[in-house]
């Protein structure tokens, strides 16, 4: 991957991300009509859900790179997998924050256990935070790369299993059940707004990913050169 | 048997081995010398397959069942007896006529009397002898010995001398040692690591 | 089949080691009972039966962590794991054999914990026993793999709980559900599913955790 400052692909991606997000936010807050029941507050949906889906995408991307690492034993996939997890955690935290804000505006509480997505993200946040603890406590090298990859694969399997568990858990705890009119049927304008925001978030994640990866590769190359000069 | 091209191994930022070319033919005896930290143990661990190269290539034409490895640590369970440890490895390596072979090795290395004692009670020299038994148990084609004389008393060293004399020329050996004079006569090649 | 013979050899080795050292199982037994007593003081008067069952599962999780922390202790201290990894057997047999031993230790702890729980708190149903059995398999399956990871790290005992807890949240849900829910069968089925998925995943990926 080219580390030149004139890397057109990275710049183009960043520009696309900025454009889509700008468009998406504008649509979400100015163009799309108010949701029938929730009203203006509902608009955070256009930020919260794309961020959540993007986080999932990052974790799946990380697992894919992890699989490639274990399959081919090529070390470059380690950095790619790690960066994807990093992006996933960033977007995961944003999901929790936006979800919390949405809960506050909808129901007056900053947290509720009856919001499945929110609970799932909490579990995933814990899981992937432990990923970093794992990485920091093992010497860099092929061993750490292998373990990180296995862990990233576990994470992606945990997503559906946890979701199922959380659904089952609802039968046990008797929370104040909050209902939300997300509306499985999005109207045309809502769908368009959502898709634009989603595309924008994905592009943002991609842009940040490319940025961080390039930076880390530069660091590694620099360290290599320093070594060689000694 | 072993071929390395531009072999390098680093741990984090530290390069332990750099740009190493190596050729060991079957039934050679390679003597590896060098000061502490020069990478002797790392090279042996690479040949055994415990580590993978971070640069360059390494090819070892022997699979796990044909490799015998003697490390700094004896790689035996302290809470098990000598017999139990060798029986464990004997089963895992699918050694034919396991009991006889174990008995013979323990006898040869003077551990027969102590065979039912826990390794925790062994002296350093006895542990080293047991480790040798473990490495030789399955009659490997390739023997990787990391400072095999360390911790051995005079008698143990003589036993090892005899063993090496018998093995040289029939198996491939790579020996890392601080005392090359002892095995110099058997060596077909020498590698000095900086 | 030599694979199963290898698993048997390794499991027997682990059980023998525990029989000799006798440090892990007694600690787990004492720990689980102590924890239950602590929980008695942690529960306010008038707490529901459900709360007690929930705390039982908490105690089981932490007892499992205690046992798992010791799982690869011998291998790590004497670097014996290198010796096992070099052997021609499939590396997953190491996971399998060690996992069997961990299940055995957990079972011993539970044989004490469940009667103690019935004595101190609430009755123990057959569904609960089944759930505990399935949960133990799950704990052992992922725990053995994670213990191997933690053994290779600098942080060791500190790392294992961090890796373990998020992964076993589904087990706790399944276990508590089978203990107090109206439809324990559903939760038992979920536990079985968890065991199947994560046992296969752990079995298949153990090789990569112990090699480079």
Q: Are A123 and A113 in contact (CB under 8 A)?
A: no
Distance, in angstroms, between A69 CA and closest chain B CA?
14
DSSP state letters, A178-226: ------SS--HHHHHHHHHHHHHHHHHHHHHHHHHHHHHHHHHHHHHHH
Task: Dig out the tokens for B154 from the structure.
Answer: 């005079």
Distance, in angstroms, between C28 CA and closest chain A CA?
25
Residues of A with CB under 8 A from a CB of B: 73, 75, 139-142, 223, 227
Looking at chain C, which residue has its C-alpha nearest residue A142?
A: C212
Contacts with B11 from chain A: Cβ below 8 Å? 139, 141
Q: Do C89 and B92 touch (CB under 8 A)?
A: yes
Lowest mean pLDDT among A38-47, A187-196, B13-22: A38-47
Residue A230 has pLDDT above 60, yes or no: yes
Q: Does C20 touch chain B (CB under 8 A)?
A: yes
pLDDT of residue A180: 62
Q: Do A73 and B54 touch (CB under 8 A)?
A: no
Residues of chain B with pLDDT > 90, as a percent, come to 81
Q: Do A127 and C177 touch (CB under 8 A)?
A: no
What's the burial of B154, exposed, middle or buried (CB within 10 Å: 0-12/13-18/19+)?
A: exposed
For residues A39 and B97, give the distance between their C-alpha atoms in angstroms, rounded to a whole number. 82
pLDDT digits over A162-192, tens only? 999 999 888 776 555 666 655 556 778 888 8
For residues A92 and A101, give the distance between their C-alpha atoms in angstroms, rounded to a whole number. 14
Q: Do B69 and C212 touch (CB under 8 A)?
A: no
Instruction: Compute the average pLDDT of residues C13-28.
Output: 94
Q: Are C47 and B129 in contact (CB under 8 A)?
A: no
Q: Do A141 and B15 touch (CB under 8 A)?
A: no
Q: Are C32 and C63 in contact (CB under 8 A)?
A: yes
Lowest mean pLDDT among A20-34, A47-61, B5-19: A20-34
pLDDT of residue B111: 95
Q: Do B64 and C17 touch (CB under 8 A)?
A: no
Instruction: Compute the average pLDDT of residues B40-63.
Output: 94
Q: Do B91 and C20 touch (CB under 8 A)?
A: no
Q: What is the mean pLDDT of chain C?
A: 94
Number of domains present in the structure of chain A: 1
Instruction: Compute the average pLDDT of residues A206-215.
Output: 94
Instruction: Compute the average pLDDT of residues B82-109.
Output: 96
Residue B179 has pLDDT above 90, yes or no: no
Contacts with B57 from chain A: Cβ below 8 Å? none
Residues of chain A with pLDDT > 90, as a percent, come to 55
Confidence of residue B101 (pLDDT cuts 50, 70, 90): very high
Residue B95 has pLDDT above 80, yes or no: yes
* Residue whose entry in the numeric block shows the structure tokens 């044909």: B66
Instruction: Tell me the residues of chain C between 72 and 131 that have a Cβ less than 8 Å away from chain B.
Output: 74, 77-80, 82-89
Residues of chain A with pLDDT > 70, as a percent, come to 90
Per-domain residue ranges of chain B: 77-140
pTM of full prediction above 0.90: yes
pLDDT of residue A4: 59
pLDDT of residue A184: 59
Lowest mean pLDDT among A16-25, A121-130, B80-89: A16-25
Residues of A with CB under 8 A from a CB of C: 70, 123-124, 126-127, 129-130, 133-134, 137-138, 141-143, 146-147, 149-151, 153-154, 157-158, 161-162, 164-166, 168-169, 171-172
Residues of B with CB under 8 A from a CB of A: 10-13, 15, 51-52, 54
Distance, in angstroms, between C149 CA and closest chain A CA?
7
pLDDT of residue A176: 55
pLDDT of residue B124: 92
Alpha carbon dihedral C89, C92, C94, C99, in 10-degree steps, equals -150
For residues C181 and C183, give the distance between their C-alpha atoms in angstroms, rounded to a whole number. 5
Q: Are B81 and B116 in contact (CB under 8 A)?
A: yes
Which residue range forms the structural domain that includes residue A211?
8-229
pLDDT of residue C8: 96
Contacts with A227 from chain B: Cβ below 8 Å? 13, 15
For residues C2 and A24, give the distance between their C-alpha atoms in angstroms, rounded to a whole number. 61
Q: Does C197 touch chain B (CB under 8 A)?
A: no
Interior angle at CA C14, CA C8 and CA C19, nearest 5: 120
What's the burial of A218, exposed, middle or buried (CB within 10 Å: 0-12/13-18/19+)?
A: exposed
Residue A1 has pLDDT above 60, yes or no: no
Instruction: Compute the average pLDDT of residues C25-36.
Output: 95
Distance, in angstroms, between A62 CA and closest chain B CA?
22
Looking at chain A, which residue has its C-alpha nearest residue B55?
A: A75
pLDDT of residue B13: 77
Residues of chain C with pLDDT > 90, as a percent, come to 83
Confidence of residue A124 (pLDDT cuts 50, 70, 90): very high
Nearest to C74 by CA among C154, C158, C18: C18
Q: Which residues pair with B4 in a beta bridge?
A: B22, B58
Asked if the structure places residue A108 within a domain, the reply is: yes
Contacts with C167 from chain A: Cβ below 8 Å? 127, 154, 158
Q: Identify the residue among B77, B94, B139 best suited for mutation to test binding to C, counting C beta carbons within 10 A and taking the highest.
A: B77
Q: Do C152 and A134 touch (CB under 8 A)?
A: no
Q: Are C179 and C128 in contact (CB under 8 A)?
A: yes
**Cross-chain CB nearest to A137 (options C154, C174, C186):** C154
Task: Dig out the tokens for A202 from the structure.
Answer: 């994905």
Asked if the structure places residue A3 within a domain, the reply is: no
Instruction: Compute the average pLDDT of residues B90-119.
Output: 95
DSSP state letters, B110-168: T-STTTTSBGGGS-HHHHHHHHHHHHHTT--SEEEEESTTTT--HHHHHHHHHHHHHHB
Task: Dig out the tokens for B170 from the structure.
Answer: 């029939």
Q: Are B113 and B130 in contact (CB under 8 A)?
A: no
**Cross-chain CB nearest to C197 (options A126, A137, A161):** A161
More confident position, A35 or C211 = C211
Asked if the structure places residue A129 within a domain, the reply is: yes
Distance, in angstroms, between C195 CA and closest chain B CA?
28
Instruction: Compute the average pLDDT of residues B138-161.
Output: 93
Instruction: Compute the average pLDDT of residues C145-163.
Output: 92
DSSP B63: -
Lowest mean pLDDT among A197-201, C42-46, C100-104: C42-46
pLDDT of residue A12: 86
Q: Does B118 touch chain C (CB under 8 A)?
A: yes
**Cross-chain CB nearest to A223 (options B13, B52, B54):** B13
pLDDT of residue A32: 77
**Which of the other chains make 3 or more beta carbon contacts under 8 angstroms with chain C?**
A, B
């Amino acid at each position: 991957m080219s580390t030149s400052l004139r890397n057109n692909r990275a710049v183009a991606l960043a520009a696309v991300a900025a454009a889509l997000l700008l468009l998406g936010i504008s649509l979400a807050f100015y163009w799309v009509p108010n949701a029938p029941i929730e009203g203006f507050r509902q608009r955070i949906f256009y930020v919260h859900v794309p961020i959540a889906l993007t986080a999932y995408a990052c974790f799946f991307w990380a697992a894919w790179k992890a699989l490639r690492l274990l399959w081919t034993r090529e070390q470059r996939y380690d950095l790619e997998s790690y960066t994807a997890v990093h992006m996933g955690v960033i977007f995961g935290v944003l999901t929790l924050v936006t979800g919390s804000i949405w809960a506050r505006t909808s129901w007056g509480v900053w947290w509720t256990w009856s919001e499945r997505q929110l609970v799932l993200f909490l579990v995933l946040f814990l899981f992937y935070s432990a990923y970093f603890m794992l990485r920091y406590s093992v010497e860099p090298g092929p061993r750490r790369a292998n373990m990180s990859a296995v862990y990233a694969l576990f994470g992606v399997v945990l997503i559906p299993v946890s979701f199922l568990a959380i659904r089952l858990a609802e039968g046990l705890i008797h929370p104040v059940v909050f209902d939300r009119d997300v509306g499985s049927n999005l109207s045309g304008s809502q769908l368009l707004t959502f898709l634009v925001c989603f595309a924008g978030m994905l592009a943002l994640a991609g842009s940040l990913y490319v940025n961080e990866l390039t930076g880390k590769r530069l660091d590694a190359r620099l360290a290599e050169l320093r070594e060689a000069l000694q | 048997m072993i071929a390395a091209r531009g072999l390098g191994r680093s741990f984090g930022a530290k390069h332990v081995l750099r740009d190493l070319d190596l050729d060991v033919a079957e039934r050679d005896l390679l003597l590896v010398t060098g000061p502490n930290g020069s990478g002797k143990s790392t090279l042996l661990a690479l040949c055994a397959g415990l580590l993978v190269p971070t640069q360059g290539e390494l090819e070892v034409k022997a699979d796990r069942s044909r490799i015998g490895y003697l490390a700094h640590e004896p790689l035996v369970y302290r809470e098990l007896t000598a017999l139990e440890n060798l029986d464990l490895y004997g089963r895992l390596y699918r050694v034919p006529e396991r009991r006889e072979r174990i008995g013979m090795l323990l006898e040869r290395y003077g551990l027969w009397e102590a065979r039912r004692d826990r390794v925790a009670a062994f002296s350093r020299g006895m542990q080293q002898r047991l480790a040798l038994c473990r490495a030789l148990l399955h009659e490997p084609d390739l023997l990787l010995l990391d400072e095999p004389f360390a911790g051995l008393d005079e008698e143990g060293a003589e036993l090892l001398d005899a063993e090496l004399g018998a093995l040289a020329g029939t198996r491939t050996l790579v020996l890392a040692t601080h005392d090359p004079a002892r095995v110099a006569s058997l060596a077909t090649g020498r590698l000095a690591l900086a | 089949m030599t694979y199963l013979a290898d698993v048997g050899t390794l499991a027997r080795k682990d059980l023998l080691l525990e029989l000799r050292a006798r440090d892990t199982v007694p600690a787990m037994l004492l720990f689980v009972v102590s924890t239950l007593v602590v929980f008695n003081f942690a529960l306010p008067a008038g707490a529901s039966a459900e709360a007690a069952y929930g705390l039982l599962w908490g105690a089981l999780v932490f007892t499992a962590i205690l046992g798992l922390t010791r799982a690869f202790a011998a291998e790590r201290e004497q670097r014996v794991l290198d010796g096992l990894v070099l052997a021609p057997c499939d590396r997953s047999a190491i996971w399998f054999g060690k996992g069997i031993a961990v299940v055995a230790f957990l079972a011993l702890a539970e044989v004490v914990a469940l009667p103690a729980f019935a004595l101190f708190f609430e009755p123990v149903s057959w569904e609960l026993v089944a759930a505990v059995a399935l949960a133990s398999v799950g704990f052992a399956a992922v725990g053995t793999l994670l213990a191997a990871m933690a053994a290779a790290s600098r942080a060791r005992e500190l790392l294992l709980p961090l890796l373990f807890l998020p992964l076993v949240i589904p087990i706790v849900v399944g276990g508590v559900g089978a203990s107090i829910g109206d439809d324990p069968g559903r939760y038992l089925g979920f536990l079985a599913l968890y065991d199947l998925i994560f046992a296969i995943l752990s079995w298949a990926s153990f090789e990569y955790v112990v090699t480079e």
